[in-house]
Amino acid sequence: MRESRFSFARRPAMHRHMTDANTDLAQLIRTIPDFPKPGIQFRDITTLLLDPAGFATSVARLAAAAPADIDLVAGIEARGFIFSSAMAHQLARGLVLIRKTGKLPGATVGVDYALEYGTDRVEMHADACVPGHKVLLVDDLIATGGTALAAVRLLREAGAEVVGASFVIDLPDLGGADLLRAEGIAVTTLVSYAGH
Ligand code: AMP
């Protein structure tokens, strides 16, 4: 079994600028500069996933903050699937997959949304939600909120009520979490990074 690195006393203080209560988790997230293109600081959760206690703790903290009355968890492809499936398991709720276009085999509903250059689309199975279902949306990271807001529109068009949204990482300066809050959605994030 891989030894947990969840003993932070031994680890270098590489995130001294951070003020989160979750600095233990922050130390397990790796930043890769200039990926996938110059200027982007890619917040890489694969190192968090490699740490059994780190992964379990991030899921447990997000699950502990989840609204009690949810019927379903909805995960956004692809890294959102990792955390949403673990949370659905922990919370004993069903899981809705929100996917990129053309991946789902059944009849779908979809929403197009704007990217910096061009557009993208998220889809889910048309029969995934019962109207009135309360849903918790999950992804690994929220930045501008474009992806999460498209997922919210999609779930709402299917009749669901999005009561909460959970992310391991927030880039608050990009404003996405505040946009979700302005939609009346309770947002939980664990680790924040200034800038983008
Ligand atoms: P946004 O739609 O701008 O909120 O971007 C959120 C989506 O893009 C999430 O699914 C993230 O996985 C991904 N993403 C955006 N920025 C980053 C980043 N700096 N590091 C890692 N993933 C990112």
At 41-58, the pLDDT tens digits run 999 999 999 999 999 999
Set 2, 10, 16, 116: catalytic member: 116
Domains and CATH numbers, the chain: 12-192 (3.40.50.2020)
| Atom from ligand 1 closest to the CA of residue 193 | 19
Residue 19: pLDDT above 50? no
| Alpha carbon distance 168, 135 (integer Å) | 18
| Alpha carbon distance 148, 113 (integer Å) | 10
**Is any ligand 1 atom within 6 A of the Cβ of residue 75?**
no
Residue 6: pLDDT above 60? no
pLDDT band at 116 (very low <50, low <70, confident <90, very high): confident
* 145-170 pLDDT per residue, tens: 999 999 999 999 999 999 999 999 99
Q: Give bridge partners of residue 168 from the DSSP assignment.
A: none
User: For position 20, what pLDDT does the model report?
Assistant: 58
* 118-136 pLDDT per residue, tens: 999 999 999 999 999 999 9
19-43 average pLDDT score: 92
- Between the CA of 73 and the centroid of ligand 1 the distance, in Å, is 19
pTM for the predicted model, two decimal places: 0.92
**Helices 79-91/52-64 angle, 10° precision:** 60
